[in-house]
Amino acid sequence: MLAGAFIGVNIGTALSSMPSPTQVVALLKSQQIRHIRLYDADPAMLAALANSNIHVTVSVPNEQLLAVGQSNATAANWVSRNVLAHLPAVNISSVAVGSEILTSLPNAAPVLLPALRFIHSALVAANLDLQIKVSTPHSSSIILDSFPPSQAFFNRSWEPVIAPILKFLQSTDSYFMLNVYPYYDYMQSNGVVPLDYALFRPLPPNKEAVDSNTLLHYTNVFDAVVDASYFAMAYLNVTNLPVIVMESGWPHKGDSNEPDATVDNANTYNSNLIRHVLNNTGTPKHPGMAVSTYIYELYDEDQRPGAMSEQFWGLFNGDGVPDYTLHLTGSGLVLANDTTNQTYCIAKDGVDEKMLQAALDWACGPGKVECSVLQQGQLCYDPDTVGSHASYAFNAYYHKMGMSAGSCYFNGVAAITTTDPSHDACKFPGSNGKNGTFENGTTLAPSSNSTAGSSGAQRQYYEGAAEIIQLMGALLLLTMLLV
Protein backbone atom coordinates (compact mmCIF):
# COMPACT_ATOMS: atom_id res chain seq x y z
CA MET A 1 0.00 0.00 0.00
CA LEU A 2 2.84 2.40 0.88
CA ALA A 3 5.16 1.57 -1.99
CA GLY A 4 7.81 4.26 -1.54
CA ALA A 5 8.45 6.55 1.39
CA PHE A 6 7.69 10.23 1.04
CA ILE A 7 8.43 13.35 3.06
CA GLY A 8 5.54 15.66 3.87
CA VAL A 9 5.18 18.81 5.94
CA ASN A 10 2.71 19.93 8.61
CA ILE A 11 1.18 23.37 8.21
CA GLY A 12 0.24 25.05 11.47
CA THR A 13 -1.46 28.44 11.46
CA ALA A 14 -0.66 30.00 14.87
CA LEU A 15 1.23 32.88 13.23
CA SER A 16 0.65 36.56 13.94
CA SER A 17 0.90 37.18 10.20
CA MET A 18 -0.10 33.95 8.49
CA PRO A 19 0.74 33.98 4.75
CA SER A 20 -2.25 33.81 2.43
CA PRO A 21 -3.27 30.39 1.11
CA THR A 22 -1.95 31.40 -2.32
CA GLN A 23 1.43 32.26 -0.81
CA VAL A 24 1.52 29.00 1.13
CA VAL A 25 0.85 26.95 -2.00
CA ALA A 26 3.46 28.91 -3.98
CA LEU A 27 6.03 28.07 -1.30
CA LEU A 28 5.04 24.40 -1.34
CA LYS A 29 5.42 24.30 -5.12
CA SER A 30 8.77 26.05 -5.11
CA GLN A 31 10.08 23.55 -2.54
CA GLN A 32 8.72 20.52 -4.42
CA ILE A 33 6.62 19.58 -1.37
CA ARG A 34 4.03 17.10 -2.58
CA HIS A 35 2.51 15.92 0.73
CA ILE A 36 1.04 18.14 3.45
CA ARG A 37 -1.03 17.75 6.58
CA LEU A 38 -3.53 20.43 7.59
CA TYR A 39 -4.77 20.59 11.18
CA ASP A 40 -8.26 21.38 9.92
CA ALA A 41 -10.00 21.54 6.55
CA ASP A 42 -9.89 25.28 5.92
CA PRO A 43 -11.90 25.96 2.74
CA ALA A 44 -9.66 28.84 1.57
CA MET A 45 -6.56 26.70 1.95
CA LEU A 46 -8.18 23.80 0.11
CA ALA A 47 -9.33 26.14 -2.66
CA ALA A 48 -5.74 27.34 -3.12
CA LEU A 49 -4.58 23.72 -3.32
CA ALA A 50 -6.95 22.95 -6.19
CA ASN A 51 -5.23 21.44 -9.23
CA SER A 52 -1.84 21.54 -7.49
CA ASN A 53 -1.61 17.71 -7.30
CA ILE A 54 -0.30 18.10 -3.75
CA HIS A 55 -1.44 15.19 -1.57
CA VAL A 56 -3.43 16.60 1.34
CA THR A 57 -4.30 15.16 4.74
CA VAL A 58 -7.23 17.06 6.21
CA SER A 59 -8.07 16.85 9.89
CA VAL A 60 -11.06 16.74 12.18
CA PRO A 61 -9.92 19.21 14.88
CA ASN A 62 -10.11 18.00 18.46
CA GLU A 63 -12.86 20.51 19.24
CA GLN A 64 -15.06 18.91 16.57
CA LEU A 65 -14.40 15.32 17.59
CA LEU A 66 -17.23 15.03 20.10
CA ALA A 67 -19.88 16.07 17.56
CA VAL A 68 -18.48 13.84 14.82
CA GLY A 69 -18.08 10.86 17.13
CA GLN A 70 -21.60 11.06 18.50
CA SER A 71 -23.55 11.35 15.25
CA ASN A 72 -23.22 9.49 11.98
CA ALA A 73 -25.16 12.30 10.29
CA THR A 74 -22.76 14.95 11.65
CA ALA A 75 -19.78 12.93 10.41
CA ALA A 76 -21.39 12.52 6.98
CA ASN A 77 -22.01 16.26 6.85
CA TRP A 78 -18.38 16.90 7.84
CA VAL A 79 -17.16 14.70 4.99
CA SER A 80 -19.54 16.35 2.55
CA ARG A 81 -18.39 19.89 3.42
CA ASN A 82 -14.69 19.26 3.97
CA VAL A 83 -13.87 16.44 1.57
CA LEU A 84 -16.45 15.87 -1.15
CA ALA A 85 -16.89 19.59 -1.86
CA HIS A 86 -13.21 19.85 -2.82
CA LEU A 87 -12.86 16.75 -4.98
CA PRO A 88 -11.48 16.01 -7.48
CA ALA A 89 -9.59 19.32 -7.78
CA VAL A 90 -7.88 18.80 -4.41
CA ASN A 91 -5.94 15.57 -3.99
CA ILE A 92 -7.18 14.60 -0.52
CA SER A 93 -5.47 11.34 0.43
CA SER A 94 -6.40 10.89 4.09
CA VAL A 95 -8.40 12.21 7.02
CA ALA A 96 -6.72 12.54 10.41
CA VAL A 97 -9.39 12.29 13.10
CA GLY A 98 -8.27 14.35 16.07
CA SER A 99 -4.69 14.75 17.26
CA GLU A 100 -3.13 12.85 20.15
CA ILE A 101 -6.57 12.36 21.70
CA LEU A 102 -5.56 9.76 24.28
CA THR A 103 -2.92 12.03 25.80
CA SER A 104 -4.25 15.53 25.12
CA LEU A 105 -8.02 15.02 25.38
CA PRO A 106 -8.52 11.71 27.21
CA ASN A 107 -12.15 12.42 28.08
CA ALA A 108 -12.95 12.20 24.36
CA ALA A 109 -11.36 8.75 24.02
CA PRO A 110 -14.73 6.90 24.04
CA VAL A 111 -15.87 8.70 20.88
CA LEU A 112 -12.59 8.28 18.95
CA LEU A 113 -13.40 4.90 17.41
CA PRO A 114 -17.02 5.88 16.55
CA ALA A 115 -15.68 9.04 14.88
CA LEU A 116 -13.25 6.98 12.79
CA ARG A 117 -16.04 4.59 11.80
CA PHE A 118 -18.53 7.34 10.95
CA ILE A 119 -16.01 9.24 8.79
CA HIS A 120 -15.06 5.99 7.04
CA SER A 121 -18.71 5.08 6.46
CA ALA A 122 -19.29 8.44 4.78
CA LEU A 123 -16.32 7.79 2.49
CA VAL A 124 -17.64 4.30 1.71
CA ALA A 125 -21.01 5.79 0.78
CA ALA A 126 -19.21 8.12 -1.65
CA ASN A 127 -17.12 5.22 -3.00
CA LEU A 128 -13.95 6.96 -1.81
CA ASP A 129 -12.75 4.60 0.91
CA LEU A 130 -10.05 3.06 -1.29
CA GLN A 131 -8.74 6.49 -2.26
CA ILE A 132 -8.96 8.29 1.09
CA LYS A 133 -7.78 6.60 4.27
CA VAL A 134 -8.92 7.39 7.81
CA SER A 135 -6.71 7.23 10.90
CA THR A 136 -5.83 9.17 14.05
CA PRO A 137 -2.39 10.47 15.13
CA HIS A 138 -1.03 9.24 18.46
CA SER A 139 1.71 10.58 20.69
CA SER A 140 4.57 8.12 21.11
CA SER A 141 4.10 8.54 24.87
CA ILE A 142 1.25 6.01 24.74
CA ILE A 143 4.00 3.41 24.19
CA LEU A 144 5.64 2.35 27.45
CA ASP A 145 9.10 0.81 27.91
CA SER A 146 10.04 1.79 24.38
CA PHE A 147 13.60 0.51 24.80
CA PRO A 148 14.41 -2.17 24.11
CA PRO A 149 11.73 -1.93 21.39
CA SER A 150 10.95 -5.64 21.63
CA GLN A 151 9.59 -5.09 25.15
CA ALA A 152 7.43 -2.09 24.26
CA PHE A 153 3.69 -2.12 24.91
CA PHE A 154 0.84 0.38 24.86
CA ASN A 155 -0.23 1.97 28.11
CA ARG A 156 -2.43 -0.79 29.54
CA SER A 157 -5.12 1.65 30.64
CA TRP A 158 -5.66 2.53 26.97
CA GLU A 159 -5.71 -1.01 25.59
CA PRO A 160 -9.53 -1.23 25.51
CA VAL A 161 -9.49 1.83 23.22
CA ILE A 162 -6.35 1.12 21.20
CA ALA A 163 -6.99 -2.55 20.40
CA PRO A 164 -10.28 -1.99 18.51
CA ILE A 165 -8.82 1.07 16.76
CA LEU A 166 -5.93 -1.06 15.49
CA LYS A 167 -8.38 -3.69 14.24
CA PHE A 168 -10.37 -0.96 12.48
CA LEU A 169 -7.24 0.42 10.81
CA GLN A 170 -6.26 -3.09 9.74
CA SER A 171 -9.68 -3.90 8.32
CA THR A 172 -9.83 -0.66 6.32
CA ASP A 173 -6.30 -1.05 4.89
CA SER A 174 -5.22 2.13 6.65
CA TYR A 175 -2.12 2.89 8.73
CA PHE A 176 -1.05 3.72 12.25
CA MET A 177 -0.33 7.45 12.60
CA LEU A 178 2.44 8.17 15.11
CA ASN A 179 4.14 11.38 16.25
CA VAL A 180 7.86 10.83 16.90
CA TYR A 181 9.93 13.48 18.67
CA PRO A 182 13.51 12.38 19.45
CA TYR A 183 14.09 15.94 20.72
CA TYR A 184 11.79 15.31 23.67
CA ASP A 185 13.12 11.77 24.20
CA TYR A 186 16.60 13.30 24.44
CA MET A 187 15.52 16.20 26.67
CA GLN A 188 13.63 13.97 29.09
CA SER A 189 16.27 11.23 29.33
CA ASN A 190 18.50 13.03 31.86
CA GLY A 191 21.57 12.31 29.77
CA VAL A 192 20.78 8.66 29.02
CA VAL A 193 20.02 9.34 25.34
CA PRO A 194 23.13 10.76 23.60
CA LEU A 195 22.55 13.81 21.41
CA ASP A 196 24.20 12.12 18.40
CA TYR A 197 21.80 9.18 18.77
CA ALA A 198 18.82 11.57 18.64
CA LEU A 199 20.21 13.47 15.62
CA PHE A 200 20.93 10.45 13.35
CA ARG A 201 24.64 11.21 13.56
CA PRO A 202 26.93 8.26 12.77
CA LEU A 203 27.80 6.21 15.83
CA PRO A 204 30.72 3.82 16.32
CA PRO A 205 29.48 0.21 16.63
CA ASN A 206 30.21 0.14 20.36
CA LYS A 207 27.89 3.12 20.86
CA GLU A 208 24.91 1.64 18.99
CA ALA A 209 21.97 0.56 21.12
CA VAL A 210 21.33 -3.18 20.94
CA ASP A 211 18.01 -4.83 21.72
CA SER A 212 19.13 -7.75 23.88
CA ASN A 213 16.08 -9.83 22.90
CA THR A 214 16.32 -9.48 19.13
CA LEU A 215 20.01 -8.45 18.83
CA LEU A 216 18.87 -5.71 16.47
CA HIS A 217 21.18 -2.66 16.41
CA TYR A 218 19.70 0.82 16.66
CA THR A 219 21.64 3.84 15.43
CA ASN A 220 18.98 6.47 16.12
CA VAL A 221 16.02 7.22 18.37
CA PHE A 222 13.57 7.56 15.47
CA ASP A 223 13.92 3.93 14.35
CA ALA A 224 13.73 2.67 17.93
CA VAL A 225 10.44 4.49 18.56
CA VAL A 226 8.90 3.30 15.27
CA ASP A 227 9.96 -0.28 16.02
CA ALA A 228 8.56 0.06 19.53
CA SER A 229 5.19 0.82 17.94
CA TYR A 230 5.47 -2.27 15.72
CA PHE A 231 6.24 -4.45 18.75
CA ALA A 232 3.47 -2.83 20.81
CA MET A 233 0.98 -3.55 18.02
CA ALA A 234 2.24 -7.12 17.73
CA TYR A 235 1.60 -7.54 21.47
CA LEU A 236 -2.07 -6.89 20.61
CA ASN A 237 -1.89 -9.35 17.68
CA VAL A 238 -1.69 -6.70 14.96
CA THR A 239 1.33 -7.41 12.81
CA ASN A 240 0.79 -6.00 9.33
CA LEU A 241 -0.20 -2.38 9.94
CA PRO A 242 2.15 0.20 8.35
CA VAL A 243 3.29 3.22 10.34
CA ILE A 244 3.22 6.79 9.05
CA VAL A 245 4.97 9.38 11.19
CA MET A 246 2.69 12.39 11.17
CA GLU A 247 4.98 14.72 13.11
CA SER A 248 8.73 14.80 13.62
CA GLY A 249 11.21 17.64 13.77
CA TRP A 250 13.58 19.66 15.92
CA PRO A 251 13.30 23.26 17.20
CA HIS A 252 15.92 25.74 16.02
CA LYS A 253 15.66 28.09 18.98
CA GLY A 254 14.80 27.81 22.67
CA ASP A 255 15.27 29.50 26.02
CA SER A 256 18.14 29.02 28.45
CA ASN A 257 16.99 25.59 29.64
CA GLU A 258 16.76 24.31 26.07
CA PRO A 259 20.41 24.59 24.99
CA ASP A 260 20.09 21.99 22.24
CA ALA A 261 17.30 23.80 20.40
CA THR A 262 19.74 25.29 17.89
CA VAL A 263 19.84 25.98 14.17
CA ASP A 264 22.66 23.47 13.73
CA ASN A 265 20.82 20.68 15.53
CA ALA A 266 17.52 21.39 13.74
CA ASN A 267 19.32 21.39 10.42
CA THR A 268 21.17 18.16 11.25
CA TYR A 269 18.05 16.36 12.45
CA ASN A 270 15.73 17.32 9.61
CA SER A 271 18.35 16.83 6.90
CA ASN A 272 19.27 13.40 8.25
CA LEU A 273 15.61 12.50 8.76
CA ILE A 274 14.74 13.36 5.16
CA ARG A 275 17.68 11.38 3.83
CA HIS A 276 16.88 8.41 6.10
CA VAL A 277 13.22 8.29 5.07
CA LEU A 278 13.80 8.72 1.35
CA ASN A 279 16.47 6.02 1.30
CA ASN A 280 13.66 3.55 2.11
CA THR A 281 15.92 1.82 4.58
CA GLY A 282 12.99 1.12 6.90
CA THR A 283 13.77 0.13 10.48
CA PRO A 284 15.81 -2.72 12.00
CA LYS A 285 12.60 -4.72 12.60
CA HIS A 286 11.19 -4.03 9.14
CA PRO A 287 14.07 -3.16 6.80
CA GLY A 288 12.91 -1.77 3.49
CA MET A 289 9.39 -1.01 4.74
CA ALA A 290 8.57 2.61 3.99
CA VAL A 291 8.04 4.94 6.95
CA SER A 292 6.73 8.10 5.31
CA THR A 293 7.13 11.12 7.55
CA TYR A 294 5.69 14.63 7.86
CA ILE A 295 8.12 17.23 9.16
CA TYR A 296 6.88 19.47 11.92
CA GLU A 297 6.55 22.08 10.53
CA LEU A 298 6.44 24.48 7.57
CA TYR A 299 6.30 27.81 9.45
CA ASP A 300 7.45 29.02 12.84
CA GLU A 301 4.30 29.59 14.89
CA ASP A 302 4.97 32.68 17.03
CA GLN A 303 1.62 32.46 18.78
CA ARG A 304 2.08 29.01 20.25
CA PRO A 305 2.05 29.00 24.07
CA GLY A 306 4.53 27.21 26.30
CA ALA A 307 8.31 27.02 26.16
CA MET A 308 10.09 29.34 23.74
CA SER A 309 11.01 26.39 21.52
CA GLU A 310 7.31 25.81 20.77
CA GLN A 311 7.47 28.84 18.47
CA PHE A 312 10.53 27.72 16.51
CA TRP A 313 9.96 24.34 14.87
CA GLY A 314 9.48 25.75 11.37
CA LEU A 315 11.55 25.38 8.24
CA PHE A 316 10.52 28.93 7.29
CA ASN A 317 9.40 32.07 9.05
CA GLY A 318 6.12 33.77 8.19
CA ASP A 319 7.75 35.72 5.35
CA GLY A 320 8.80 32.51 3.63
CA VAL A 321 12.46 33.05 4.56
CA PRO A 322 14.25 29.76 5.41
CA ASP A 323 15.21 29.50 9.07
CA TYR A 324 18.25 27.50 7.98
CA THR A 325 19.65 25.73 4.94
CA LEU A 326 18.92 22.01 4.83
CA HIS A 327 21.94 19.84 4.00
CA LEU A 328 20.33 17.73 1.32
CA THR A 329 23.06 17.13 -1.24
CA GLY A 330 22.39 13.73 -2.75
CA SER A 331 18.81 13.54 -1.55
CA GLY A 332 17.28 14.68 -4.81
CA LEU A 333 14.93 17.52 -5.55
CA VAL A 334 13.07 17.58 -2.24
CA LEU A 335 12.79 20.46 0.21
CA ALA A 336 15.76 22.25 -1.31
CA ASN A 337 15.22 25.36 0.80
CA ASP A 338 18.80 26.45 0.30
CA THR A 339 18.62 30.07 -0.77
CA THR A 340 22.33 30.73 -1.00
CA ASN A 341 24.01 31.09 -4.38
CA GLN A 342 24.49 27.33 -4.40
CA THR A 343 20.99 26.48 -5.60
CA TYR A 344 19.75 26.38 -9.15
CA CYS A 345 16.44 26.02 -10.95
CA ILE A 346 16.39 23.46 -13.75
CA ALA A 347 13.93 21.66 -16.00
CA LYS A 348 12.60 18.40 -14.59
CA ASP A 349 13.38 15.20 -16.42
CA GLY A 350 10.56 13.39 -18.20
CA VAL A 351 8.09 16.26 -18.40
CA ASP A 352 6.03 17.17 -21.45
CA GLU A 353 8.24 18.89 -24.03
CA LYS A 354 5.45 21.21 -25.19
CA MET A 355 5.01 22.46 -21.62
CA LEU A 356 8.78 22.94 -21.36
CA GLN A 357 8.80 24.91 -24.61
CA ALA A 358 5.92 27.08 -23.44
CA ALA A 359 7.73 27.75 -20.18
CA LEU A 360 10.95 28.55 -22.04
CA ASP A 361 9.07 30.96 -24.31
CA TRP A 362 7.53 32.66 -21.31
CA ALA A 363 10.88 33.01 -19.49
CA CYS A 364 12.57 34.50 -22.56
CA GLY A 365 9.57 36.75 -23.29
CA PRO A 366 7.32 38.09 -20.51
CA GLY A 367 9.76 36.75 -17.90
CA LYS A 368 12.41 39.13 -19.32
CA VAL A 369 15.25 36.63 -19.12
CA GLU A 370 18.15 37.53 -21.41
CA CYS A 371 18.26 34.46 -23.64
CA SER A 372 20.59 35.54 -26.44
CA VAL A 373 23.25 33.21 -25.05
CA LEU A 374 21.00 30.30 -26.14
CA GLN A 375 21.14 31.29 -29.80
CA GLN A 376 23.17 29.31 -32.32
CA GLY A 377 26.90 29.94 -31.99
CA GLN A 378 26.60 31.26 -28.44
CA LEU A 379 28.07 29.67 -25.30
CA CYS A 380 24.92 27.95 -24.05
CA TYR A 381 23.44 26.85 -27.41
CA ASP A 382 24.75 23.28 -27.01
CA PRO A 383 23.28 20.90 -26.21
CA ASP A 384 20.51 22.13 -28.50
CA THR A 385 17.58 20.63 -26.56
CA VAL A 386 14.48 22.18 -25.10
CA GLY A 387 15.39 20.81 -21.67
CA SER A 388 18.88 22.26 -21.68
CA HIS A 389 17.73 25.68 -22.92
CA ALA A 390 14.81 25.68 -20.46
CA SER A 391 17.15 24.89 -17.56
CA TYR A 392 19.27 27.91 -18.39
CA ALA A 393 16.28 30.22 -18.76
CA PHE A 394 14.53 28.90 -15.62
CA ASN A 395 17.70 29.36 -13.58
CA ALA A 396 18.29 32.86 -14.93
CA TYR A 397 14.74 33.85 -13.96
CA TYR A 398 15.11 32.18 -10.54
CA HIS A 399 18.26 34.16 -9.76
CA LYS A 400 16.83 37.35 -11.28
CA MET A 401 13.95 37.03 -8.80
CA GLY A 402 16.35 36.60 -5.88
CA MET A 403 15.70 32.84 -5.62
CA SER A 404 12.44 33.73 -3.89
CA ALA A 405 9.68 31.28 -3.05
CA GLY A 406 7.55 30.52 -6.09
CA SER A 407 10.12 31.62 -8.67
CA CYS A 408 11.15 28.06 -9.61
CA TYR A 409 7.82 26.48 -10.50
CA PHE A 410 6.92 27.14 -14.16
CA ASN A 411 3.68 25.19 -13.94
CA GLY A 412 5.40 22.18 -12.41
CA VAL A 413 8.12 21.57 -15.02
CA ALA A 414 10.98 23.09 -12.96
CA ALA A 415 12.73 22.00 -9.79
CA ILE A 416 15.39 23.34 -7.41
CA THR A 417 18.69 21.48 -7.20
CA THR A 418 21.97 21.96 -5.34
CA THR A 419 23.98 20.58 -8.28
CA ASP A 420 25.54 23.25 -10.49
CA PRO A 421 24.12 22.67 -14.01
CA SER A 422 26.88 24.68 -15.70
CA HIS A 423 28.70 22.86 -18.48
CA ASP A 424 31.76 23.56 -20.59
CA ALA A 425 32.03 27.34 -21.07
CA CYS A 426 28.36 27.89 -20.22
CA LYS A 427 28.16 29.16 -16.66
CA PHE A 428 24.68 29.37 -15.16
CA PRO A 429 23.68 32.38 -13.05
CA GLY A 430 24.70 31.71 -9.44
CA SER A 431 27.58 29.43 -10.40
CA ASN A 432 30.62 30.16 -8.23
CA GLY A 433 29.00 33.42 -7.22
CA LYS A 434 28.79 34.64 -10.82
CA ASN A 435 25.50 36.04 -12.02
CA GLY A 436 25.26 35.47 -15.74
CA THR A 437 28.89 35.99 -16.75
CA PHE A 438 30.99 33.51 -18.67
CA GLU A 439 34.57 32.39 -18.80
CA ASN A 440 35.43 34.62 -21.73
CA GLY A 441 33.86 37.68 -20.12
CA THR A 442 30.82 37.79 -22.41
CA THR A 443 27.75 39.13 -20.60
CA LEU A 444 24.13 38.40 -21.37
CA ALA A 445 22.36 40.70 -23.81
CA PRO A 446 18.59 41.14 -24.26
CA SER A 447 17.06 38.44 -26.40
CA SER A 448 15.89 39.35 -29.88
CA ASN A 449 14.54 35.90 -30.61
CA SER A 450 11.61 35.39 -28.25
CA THR A 451 8.99 33.01 -29.54
CA ALA A 452 6.47 33.58 -26.77
CA GLY A 453 2.91 33.33 -28.00
CA SER A 454 -0.50 33.17 -26.38
CA SER A 455 -1.25 29.48 -26.00
CA GLY A 456 -3.29 28.17 -23.07
CA ALA A 457 -0.12 26.91 -21.41
CA GLN A 458 1.47 30.33 -21.71
CA ARG A 459 -1.58 32.02 -20.22
CA GLN A 460 -1.03 29.74 -17.21
CA TYR A 461 2.49 31.10 -16.92
CA TYR A 462 1.19 34.66 -16.97
CA GLU A 463 -1.06 33.68 -14.09
CA GLY A 464 1.89 32.05 -12.34
CA ALA A 465 3.86 35.26 -12.74
CA ALA A 466 1.03 37.23 -11.14
CA GLU A 467 1.11 34.84 -8.22
CA ILE A 468 4.85 35.35 -7.86
CA ILE A 469 4.40 39.13 -7.96
CA GLN A 470 1.89 38.85 -5.12
CA LEU A 471 4.58 37.06 -3.14
CA MET A 472 7.21 39.71 -3.64
CA GLY A 473 5.96 42.01 -0.91
CA ALA A 474 5.96 39.26 1.70
CA LEU A 475 9.34 38.01 0.50
CA LEU A 476 11.11 41.38 0.30
CA LEU A 477 13.23 40.46 3.29
CA LEU A 478 14.43 37.30 1.56
CA THR A 479 15.47 39.27 -1.53
CA MET A 480 17.32 41.83 0.59
CA LEU A 481 19.22 39.09 2.38
CA LEU A 482 20.38 37.63 -0.88
CA VAL A 483 21.52 40.79 -2.62
134: β partners = 95
Q: DSSP readout, 164-199?
A: HHHHHHHHTT--EEEE--HHHHHHTTTTSS-HHHHT
Please provide residue 373's backbone torsions phi and psi, each rounded to the nearest 5 degrees. -65, -10
287 burial via Cβ count (<10 Å: 0-12, 13-18, 19+): exposed
63 part of the active site = no
Which residue, among 390, 396, 430, 406, has the nearest Cα to 337 in the 3D structure?
A: 406
Residue pair 266/250 in contact by the 8 Å Cβ criterion: yes
100 part of the active site = yes
Rg (CA), the chain: 24
Instruction: Please give the biggest Cα pair distance in the chain.
Output: 76
Which residue, among 202, 93, 114, 208, has the nearest Cα to 165 in the 3D structure?
A: 114
**281 vs 241, 287, 456, CA distance in Å?**
17, 6, 43
Q: Which of 159, 247, 301, 353 is catalytic?
A: 247
What does the alpha-carbon distance between residue 183 and residue 40 come to, in Å, rounded to a whole number?
Answer: 25
What does the alpha-carbon distance between residue 429 and residue 468 come to, in Å, rounded to a whole number?
Answer: 20
With a CB cutoff of 8 Å and minimum separation 6, the contacts of 381 are 373, 374, 375
What residues are labeled active site? Answer: 100, 247
